[in-house]
Structure 1
């Protein structure tokens, strides 16, 4: 079911996969903010202002480049654009240059322990964040591990020509391994999770379409069973009548009379099939709705009993169940649906309520919009009933159909709308 616009806002209008994707994107943007806050800004308290200024600017540029690369790479993982090869090469080049400059400043720059600590942090974090972001632009476990191994190996090798002691170089390489490895794992897991959520959503939509297709096949089979034999007989008798007429035989008239009889019988049987389809059995519709929603991964609870209700009432409410079930499957992102039937004060009340309703689609909030709801109102009006539909409690949508029982109307079920 779909809820009226105006509540829930921008976030509420997103589907579950859209929310997961947005959360993933902003997580990587937050990594860029974290890089600036944890690496760039503390430089002002560790080194002199001039040096801290340009070093912070370099970290900011690297963070923005990481953020842009992550965004483009996520688009690539969703097959929305080509692999951002140039951006990946640019990020890799900038990451290496900044790391090497930071390492040179650490070993050869003017300053004491504060400068060494600050530049070491820049070296480890820039190399780690850059490598972690680059892994978003590759597919497969081997390329990912190769990138992390290259970053760790490069961090170890580049220190040795500068005269760094082996234990210190190894410690720095381990720090790079931890930072780059954690971010690479986060990137790989985020992409896997995003793909899984989209695949599950597509599977749910496929199950919903299959449920609708199954109903159409059932109706088609019923028509085939009714019409197949009769049409074959009509074709044979018509051909026989043609042959008899060409020979001037009077039996041709009898054969055509028989064709007319079979044709009228076929019309009656088709009307019976359609009538049986339209005049739904409420109990069967409730059981069918529960089965279809369960197949789509939606928990459905049915309460109440439809036994003993008049045929007209069951038919009208059965159509409400059909339409409501279809909307739950096609719209929103429901996880639970509750259907209740109760008889009170000479009326039958059917309630269908589901969660996970989308915002900004569907009826107009007063329950007047939507072709499906309009059709249901027309059916309920024919039996003196009424329909109410609208959002409740944010992301929940409720449809309430009320139909008076014949004894309560005094003139049967054909009264006007209440």
Structure 2
């Protein structure tokens, strides 16, 4: 069963801020309908002021207010997409909103004056006049979402306030009341405009920060690639040049049937083995993973991502081979926690038993279905790495939206505790994955980079 709120937790931070902003704009339209249409509904329920009056005009005004609210909601959503660069400016919708605002306000002000359908026993219909003011304020404030120039925004708000006062006065509303209406429209529309502008500014800042973080990650990976390339060039450049020269010399000597050709080829073979050894030494620096460093790095990255991370258990005293293997597990697990789902907490525990070391990584960000943060080629490689030293890896949902990853490694005997794989063996990998050494930096932005 899909739990309420799971869809929200799975969203990224920019997506959450965008959804909050969009629904805040829609909520403002609901506020307009309650504030402007609520009194009309109450008056219709009572049969008009004092039980008199025709309900037809008020019903028409109520329908116009509902349509105006819906149009404001659509315009706000389209304008938000425009500010995010997803669509063109909704110019036609802006004109439609202005026309609808004027039409609803005109209908309301007709019901306001002494000659209106509400009757002649009063000077001003308070309900219709309140609807007029609110529609003008909400319409003027919402229309500013379709503008980016500050002067036009201020001019639109001020013009709507002045126009509302003049129109009310022209339809027979007393001057003091018309002036009060203009002031109310000015401050109310100004407040809505300030709220909309501040919300859009905050949303743009969040998107820019997210893009900057991704750019920083890509630059870090590119820098690491360049550094690795320079190291390989320094190690292999000279030796390969010498190998090429000696190979050419050996070919010429062999063509002349000179015995020195064998000596040159032996030297070429020696240089090739030396180059292979130096390359492995460079690679080893990229492939080593220290458990203490990986635990500290995982906690720092997860905490920076807003996840409550706790690390318990000893991270020292284990054989180097075991520390390296568990360090890779911590790195991959932290990457998957950030990349899949949106957890609120993550617990990492290291336990040392009699004959094995156990590492568990648990979080509450398991997505729906059989998949989860443990799926992918990363854990397949970890299983193979752990199998080489007699270890196992289990990963899967643990119920209640939790995901549990468990790695167990047999502790070697004292005689073989320091023994590891021979870095100079022919079966050793030659080139590492440069991006894999930067997993924590790429995981901070939930972006997957392929070398």
| Superposition TM-score, scaled by structure 1 size | 0.83
Structure 2 matches for 1:14-413, cutoff 5 A?
14-46=11-43, 47=48, 48-107=54-113, 108-110=115-117, 111=119, 112-113=121-122, 116-213=125-222, 215-217=224-226, 219-241=228-250, 250-275=259-284, 277-289=286-298, 302-333=311-342, 339-353=348-362, 357=365, 359-360=367-368, 364-365=371-372, 369-390=375-396, 397-407=403-413
Deviation at 1:376, TM superposition (A): 1.6
In structure 2, the gaps of 5 or more residues are 49-53, 421-451
Deviation at 1:406, TM superposition (A): 1.9
In the alignment of these two chains, the number of paired residues is: 406
Q: Give the match for residue 8 of structure 2.
A: 11
Contact 1:380 1:386 in 2 (8 A): yes
**Residues 385, 245 of structure 1: alpha-carbon distance in 2 compared, 3 angstrom cutoff:** closer
Deviations 1:261-320 (A, max 9, x none): 111222233344445544533334445545666787877665544333223212211211
**Residues 98, 296 of structure 1: alpha-carbon distance in 2 compared, 3 angstrom cutoff:** closer
Between the aligned partners of 2:385 and 2:335, the Cα distance in structure 1 is 17
Which secondary structure state, in structure 1, belongs to the residue aligned with residue 358 of structure 2? strand
Contact 2:109 2:168 in 1 (8 A): yes
Deviations 1:166-220 (A, max 9, x none): 3222211111112211211221122112222222333343444455545545544
Deviations 1:131-169 (A, max 9, x none): 121111112433322221111121123234334443222
| Superposition TM-score, scaled by structure 2 size | 0.77
Q: Give the match for residue 444 of structure 2.
A: none
Contact 2:310 2:346 in 1 (8 A): yes
**Residues 280, 16 of structure 1: alpha-carbon distance in 2 compared, 3 angstrom cutoff:** closer
Contact 1:223 1:270 in 2 (8 A): yes
Give the superposed CA RMSD.
3.5
- The one of the two structures with greater contact order (alpha-carbon pairs below 8 A, sep at least 6) is 1
Between the aligned partners of 1:244 and 1:295, the Cα distance in structure 2 is 64
Contact 1:155 1:172 in 2 (8 A): yes
Contact 2:11 2:342 in 1 (8 A): no
Contact 1:237 1:255 in 2 (8 A): yes
